[in-house]
Amino acid sequence: MKKIDLNCDLGESFGAWKMGCDEDVIPLITSANIACGFHAGDPVVMAKTVKLAADARIGLGAHPGFPDLQGFGRRDMKVTPAEAKAYVQYQTGALAAFASEYGLKLQHVKAHGNLYNMAGRDHDLAVAICRAIKAVSPDLIILALAGSEMISAAEEVGIRAASEVFADRAYEENGALVARSKPGSMITDEDEAAARVLRMVQEGKVTAITGKDIPIRADSVCVHGDNPKAVAFVQKLRTMLTEGGCELAPLSAFIV
Which positions touch its own copies (CB under 8 A)? Answer: 13-19, 37, 40, 42-44, 46-47, 67-72, 74-79, 82-83, 85-87, 89-98, 100-101, 135-137
Q: How far is CA 82 from CA 78, 111, 204, 211, in A?
A: 12, 15, 35, 40
DSSP 8-state assignment for residue 186: B
Supply the minimum distance, in Å, between the C-beta of residue 72 and its own copies: 4
Contacts of 205 (CB under 8 A, 6+ apart): 199, 213, 214, 215, 216
Supply the minimum distance, in Å, between the C-beta of residue 248 and its own copies: 29
Look up residue 236 and give its amino acid.
K
Supply the minimum distance, in Å, between the C-beta of residue 74 and its own copies: 8
Q: Say if strands 2-10 and 246-248 run parallel, antiparallel, or are unpaired.
A: parallel
> How far is Cα 154 from Cα 144, in angstroms, rounded to an integer?
10
Supply the minimum distance, in Å, between the C-beta of residue 19 and its own copies: 6
Burial class (CB in 10 A: 0-12, 13-18, 19+), 60: buried
Supply the minimum distance, in Å, between the C-beta of residue 140 and its own copies: 11
139 backbone dihedrals φ, ψ, rounded to 5°: -85, -10
Q: How many residues does the chain have?
A: 256
Question: Which of residues 33 and 89 has its CB atom nearest to its own copies in the complex?
Answer: 89
Sign (positive or negative) of CA dihedral 95, 107, 55, 8: positive
Question: Which of residues 13 and 30 has its CB atom nearest to its own copies in the complex?
Answer: 13
Question: Which of residues 78 and 212 has its CB atom nearest to its own copies in the complex?
Answer: 78
Question: Which of residues 67 and 175 has its CB atom nearest to its own copies in the complex?
Answer: 67
Supply the minimum distance, in Å, between the C-beta of residue 93 and its own copies: 2
> How far is Cα 24 from Cα 18, in angstroms, rounded to an integer?
14
> How far is Cα 256 from Cα 38, in angstroms, rounded to an integer?
30
Supply the minimum distance, in Å, between the C-beta of residue 85 and its own copies: 8
Buried-exposed string 25-36: b where 16+ CB fall within 10 A, e elsewhere: bbebbbbbbbbb
